[in-house]
């Protein structure tokens, strides 16, 4: 029974991990940019592709310039974006609005920057490290979020009007120690879980709750309690 309760507690803490992940937009801004490039057929292709060969082609018309060589090297300069790609190892995309850019070197790292809805998001991903940061575009007061994952640990924190949240676990790939802290409207609560010991402790200004193996004790606004599960 106690194992089931601890499992339920772990599941309740999982939203802290999910909440720290980067916000999912309704549409990937880079897909939106690349959609500007469309397949051209017939006589229109004759006009817009002055060079068409087996290993090289060049697209050129007002505001549009693109070329590729040997199928895997391509450079594009369109009204909304610029891109240079060496498939599958390197890809660089930049929105001419200055609100989005992506650089990736496979399989070493990927760096992405997006500005949308007044927020600036930066994401770095590599086999050993992940970092995601969200903050107001002007760097002023507003919603902020930061997440970092590495093999030895994971940490996420977010803050905004009237709240702060912090979540950590160690190691990052197989959490044995979990720490969580919340501040809502001036009221702070802290919790800690040590999975190998089946230990859980949560404390706020008004209550305390501790589990250790088959024992549970603490207090709330109404009473103190001590429970032995068997």
42 domain residue, yes or no: no
Structural domain total, the chain: 1
55 domain residue, yes or no: no
114 domain residue, yes or no: yes
pLDDT at 203: 92
pLDDT in tens, 207-216: 999 999 889 9
- pTM as predicted: 0.73
72 domain residue, yes or no: no
| Boundaries of domain holding 224 | 2-36+80-228
146 domain residue, yes or no: yes
pLDDT at 40: 66
Residue located via tokens 């991990």: 17
61 domain residue, yes or no: no
Closest to 156 (Cα-Cα) out of 6, 9, 14: 14
73 domain residue, yes or no: no
pLDDT exceeds cutoff 90 at 36: no
Q: Where are the beta strands (DSSP E) in 29-171?
A: 51-52, 56-61, 64-69, 73-77, 81-86, 90-95, 100-105, 109-116, 119-125, 129-136, 144-150, 153-160, 163-170
d(CA 19, CA 229): 33
57 domain residue, yes or no: no
pLDDT in tens, 173-188: 788 999 999 998 888 9
């Amino acid at each position: 029974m106690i194992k089931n309760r601890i499992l339920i507690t772990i599941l309740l803490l999982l939203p802290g991990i999910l909440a720290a992940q980067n916000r999912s937009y309704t549409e990937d801004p880079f897909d939106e940019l690349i959609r500007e490039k469309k397949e051209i057929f017939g006589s229109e292709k004759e006009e817009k592709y002055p060079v068409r060969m087996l290993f090289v082609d060049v697209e050129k018309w007002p505001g549009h310039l693109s070329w590729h060589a040997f199928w895997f090297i391509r450079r594009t300069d369109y009204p909304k974006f610029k891109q240079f790609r060496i498939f599958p190892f390197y890809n660089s995309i930049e929105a001419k609005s200055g609100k989005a850019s992506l650089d990736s070197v496979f399989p070493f790292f990927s760096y992405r920057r997006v500005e949308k809805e007044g927020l600036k998001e930066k994401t770095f991903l590599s086999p050993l490290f992940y970092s995601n940061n969200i903050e107001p575009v002007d760097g002023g007061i507003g919603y902020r979020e930061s997440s970092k994952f590495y093999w030895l640990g994971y940490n996420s924190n977010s803050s905004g009007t009237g709240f702060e949240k912090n979540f950590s676990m160690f190691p990052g790939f197989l959490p044995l120690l979990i720490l969580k802290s919340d501040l809502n409207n001036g009221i702070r609560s802290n919790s800690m879980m040590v999975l190998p010991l089946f230990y859980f402790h949560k404390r706020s200004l008004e209550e305390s709750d501790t589990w250790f193996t088959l024992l549970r004790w603490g207090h709330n606004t109404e009473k103190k309690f001590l429970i032995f599960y068997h």
